[in-house]
Amino acid sequence: MAVRQTLEEQVKAPIENPVEMNLHMSMAVKNIRKIKNYKPLFAKAFGNGDVTEDRIAKAIATFERSVISPPSKFDKFVSGKKDALTDAEVNGLHLFRTKANCINCHNTPYFSDQKFHNLGLTYYGRKYEDLGRYVVTKKNEDVGKFKTPTLREVSENKPYMHNGLFPELANIVMMYNAGMGRETPKGDQINDPKFPHKSEMVEKLHLTDEEVF
């Protein structure tokens, strides 16, 4: 896979990726040119209203550079402001770091280990099958693995998980508490080298109802 050196290069990738927008950049240009309201915006940004591949990339990249996560209550708390979190939130942080095992993957200031894990939600051989990282690497061990997302501003980014399966955070906590999905091979799948295996880190948490909610 080619390494993209700039954000402008990167933003073109999902547009043309067959498993994302699956649209050639030339078609994106034609489609955007048809939207009259964009012409004055391009003129204001670039000097004239001409829509090109490079200008689309520059516009999207400029927007992405403006998306900056502001300091959170957690940031203030770890910086020494002891009253930044309520007692309930401090208890939640304790669970996050201990019994709930969240910090195993959601660590560092970015709240992500930047690694790929299988949570048992591959739906292998079923209607909503999603092979995850395997689609890119073609390695059997990557079937069903997805990259740990950041939790910054997580309350503003519903629905959750790679497939939007969970509408609320509480749904995710309940699923993790139950040990997530169960991928059990059946019939021909028993000898299937691609059959996905859930990460060993994912196990029942035994959280109480009070701890979950």
pLDDT digits (tens, 9 = 90+) for 122-171: 889 888 899 999 998 999 999 999 999 999 999 998 999 988 889 999 99
What whole-number distance in Å separates Cα of residue 74 and Cα of residue 103? 14
Exposure b/e, 122-136, CB count within 10 A at least 16 = b:
bbbbeeeebbbbbee
Q: What is the dihedral of CA 201, 206, 210, 211, to 10 degrees?
A: -20
CA geometry: angle 124, 126, 129, nearest 5 deg: 55
- The model carries a pTM of 0.75
- Report the chain's mean pLDDT, rounded to a whole number: 92
CATH of domain 99-212: 1.10.760.10
Sorted by where each begins, the domain ranges of the chain are: 7-66, 99-212
pLDDT digits (tens, 9 = 90+) for 43-89: 999 999 999 999 999 999 999 999 888 899 999 999 999 999 999 99
Whether residue 1 is predicted with pLDDT greater than 60 in this model: the reply is no
9 with 31: CB under 8 angstroms? no
pLDDT digits (tens, 9 = 90+) for 83-111: 999 999 999 999 999 999 999 999 999 99
| Backbone phi, psi, residue 178, to 5° | -85, 0
CA geometry: angle 43, 45, 47, nearest 5 deg: 50
